[in-house]
């Protein structure tokens, strides 16, 4: 039994079963040896690959999106924030693309919201030649904001804790993690909770107060400072039924309870709920769009063609494969969604259909 499994067992034996949200909090961030504080999960040697690691096109287009948004905000000094910036690849590529508008870089101060000291080191190295002032914070609330905000959150919300509720014969109860024959196992709390969802016995509903709290904090800051939040993640537009909790280890799906603290544990983002949280804080929200459509609206096809003109035959194959992975309907193109919260309501962020 791993140290983390033993730690969870001790908690459950002392206090009873824990919620799915508490399980995610403990294994991902609560301890110094939690997954996101200890691991280097990105890339071929890690557990998964994110869009910025697949192709430079992704980060470059996000950078140009930021330039366009800054222009619409009046080209004032501003704060560019990335939530959960991984190895710094997205921000590096975004700032490199933004060099086409030097005034953007002169007006920017960058804030990286990251809890892992090891990943901070990699981010500092990635941004070493960016020529932009950077700050690092563990929480968005600690960011020193100057002027309007432009926030990028790529695969950030999926890692925030969720609560799960399961429909039993007598009604809904919270899904919990307890012990069965000494092993971690899923179960249901005895208390019945009030949920409006209609569903058959055994159905599961997910909620994420943690995501809503972050979205509302961002939306409230937008209402005061002005700016935009670009959220990109895998998910759906709810409400919907289903268990989306998953673990990934060494680029393969794993049992969520098998190796706690050693695998990435996430769930699909309900973009409907996320949008409502942004709106509840006073921000305007774009329609949710698929990642493939969003990237192509920003010029992904044209950037691919430009890169291919100077590429070898082998590089052309790699570029085509990366583009297909980012935008194809059988890959990330439709599974991943994009939404933007913004203020003022007249901003009109590029890449989205009219509301």
Q: How many Cβ atoms from other residues are within 10 Å of residue 308's Cβ?
A: 15
179 φ, ψ (degrees, to nearest 5): -120, 140
pLDDT of residue 1: 53
* Residue in this structure with the two tokens 């082998």, named with its chain if needed: 314
Asked, for residue 101, whether it belongs to a domain, the answer is: yes
Same domain, 3 and 119: no
Asked, for residue 354, whether it belongs to a domain, the answer is: no
Its pTM stands at 0.95
Same domain, 188 and 150: no
User: pLDDT, tens digit, for every residue of 260-294?
Assistant: 999 999 999 999 999 999 999 999 999 999 999 99
Domains: count for the chain: 2
Same domain, 187 and 252: no
CATH number, domain of 314, equals: 3.40.50.12710
User: pLDDT, tens digit, for every residue of 305-355?
Assistant: 999 999 999 999 999 999 999 999 999 999 999 999 999 999 999 999 875
Same domain, 252 and 167: no
Tokens representing 271 are: 């973009």
pLDDT of residue 306: 97
d(CA 331, CA 290): 11
Same domain, 138 and 83: yes
Final residue before a domain boundary, out of 182, 206, 230: 206
Asked, for residue 195, whether it belongs to a domain, the answer is: yes
Closest by Cα among 230, 256, 260, 254 to 337: 230
Asked, for residue 351, whether it belongs to a domain, the answer is: no
Average pLDDT over residues 28-34: 89
DSSP label of 331: T
The pLDDT confidence band at residue 197, using thresholds 50, 70 and 90, is confident
Which domain, by its residues, includes 93? 32-160+208-343
User: pLDDT, tens digit, for every residue of 240-255?
Assistant: 999 999 999 989 999 9
Same domain, 231 and 291: yes
CB–CB of 19/9 below 8 Å? no
Average pLDDT over residues 233-238: 95
Helices 300-309 and 56-72, packing angle to 10 deg: 130
Same domain, 196 and 110: no
Question: What long-range pairs does 103-106 form, CB within 8 A, spacing at least 24?
Answer: 103/75, 104/66, 104/67, 104/70, 105/131, 105/132
User: pLDDT, tens digit, for every residue of 148-165?
Assistant: 999 999 999 999 999 999
d(CA 239, CA 196): 11
Same domain, 39 and 22: no
Same domain, 179 and 214: no
Q: Which of 127-131, 134-138, 210-214, 240-244 bottoms out in mean pLDDT, i.e. has the lowest?
A: 127-131
Same domain, 256 and 109: yes
Asked, for residue 355, whether it belongs to a domain, the answer is: no
Asked, for residue 352, whether it belongs to a domain, the answer is: no
Same domain, 156 and 167: no
Same domain, 173 and 266: no
Tokens representing 319 are: 């570029």
């Amino acid at each position: 039994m791993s140290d983390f499994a033993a730690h969870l067992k001790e908690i459950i034996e002392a206090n009873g079963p824990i919620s799915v949200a508490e399980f995610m909090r403990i294994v991902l961030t609560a301890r110094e040896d939690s997954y996101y504080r200890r691991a280097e999960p990105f890339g071929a040697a890690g557990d998964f690959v994110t869009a910025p690691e697949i192709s430079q096109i992704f980060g470059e287009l996000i950078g140009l999106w930021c330039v366009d948004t800054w222009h619409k905000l009046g080209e004032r000094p501003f704060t560019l924030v990335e939530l959960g910036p991984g190895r710094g690849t997205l921000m590096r590529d975004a700032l490199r693309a933004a060099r086409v508008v030097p005034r953007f870089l002169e007006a920017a101060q960058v804030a990286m919201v990251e809890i892992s000291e090891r990943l901070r080191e990699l981010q500092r190295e990635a941004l070493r030649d960016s020529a932009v002032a950077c700050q690092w914070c563990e929480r968005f609330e600690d960011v020193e904001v100057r002027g309007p905000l432009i926030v990028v959150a790529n695969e950030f919300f999926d890692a925030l804790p969720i609560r799960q509720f399961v429909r039993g014969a007598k009604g809904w109860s919270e899904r919990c993690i307890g012990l069965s024959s000494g092993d971690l196992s899923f179960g249901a709390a005895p208390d019945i909770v009030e949920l409006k969802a209609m569903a058959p016995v055994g159905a599961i509903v997910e909620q994420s107060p943690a995501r809503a709290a972050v979205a509302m904090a961002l939306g409230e800051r937008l209402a005061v400072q002005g700016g935009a939040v670009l959220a990109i993640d895998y998910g759906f537009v709810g409400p919907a039924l289903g268990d989306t909790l998953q673990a990934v280890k060494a680029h393969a799906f794993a049992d969520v309870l098998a190796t706690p603290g050693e695998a990435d544990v996430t769930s699909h983002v309900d973009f409907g709920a996320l949008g409502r949280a942004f709106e509840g804080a006073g921000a305007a929200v774009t329609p949710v769009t698929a990642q493939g459509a969003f990237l192509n609206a920003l010029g992904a096809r044209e950037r691919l063609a430009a890169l291919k003109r100077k590429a070898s035959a082998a590089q052309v194959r790699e570029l085509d494969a990366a583009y297909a992975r980012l935008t194809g309907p059988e890959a990330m193109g439709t599974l991943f969604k994009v939404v933007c919260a913004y203020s003022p309501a007249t901003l009109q962020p590029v890449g989205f259909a009219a509301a």
